[in-house]
Amino acid sequence: ATLTVKPFSSIALSWETPTAREDGTLLELNEIDSYIIYLSYAVDLPEEEIIIPAALNSVVLDDMPPGDYQFAIATTDTLGATGERSEVILLSVN
């Protein structure tokens, strides 16, 4: 018998800090409260939201099982308003 163990993967995400709101007005760095990463894994599972502090513009997600992922990100300001999501990023982890 043969047993093959496939290790889980790490996924690194990074983004540029936005400088404008959706309506085009200036978004100062100190007005950003956090980022929300929207993560979907497999069609039949619910979407996850991962909150990232405003001081960061990257994150590493560890122990990700093989599969197809969808990611999007949005910015939340200090007043609690969350902007539109970014374009969806598709990723297959083998």
Q: Which tokens in the block code for residue 20?
A: 């404008």
Lowest mean pLDDT, pick from 4-13, 52-61, 83-92: 4-13
DSSP state of 66: S
Whether residue 51 has pLDDT greater than 60: yes
User: For all residues of the chain together, what is the average pLDDT?
Assistant: 90
22/26 Cα distance (integer angstroms)? 10
User: What percentage of the chain carries pLDDT values higher than 70?
Assistant: 91
Q: What would the pLDDT profile of 68-79 be if each residue is shown by its tens digit?
A: 999 999 999 999
Measured over all CA atoms, what is the biggest interatomic distance in the chain, rounded to whole angstroms? 63
Lowest mean pLDDT, pick from 39-43, 58-62, 66-70: 39-43
* Contacts of 11 by beta carbon, 8 Å cutoff, 6+ apart: 60, 61, 64, 69, 91, 93
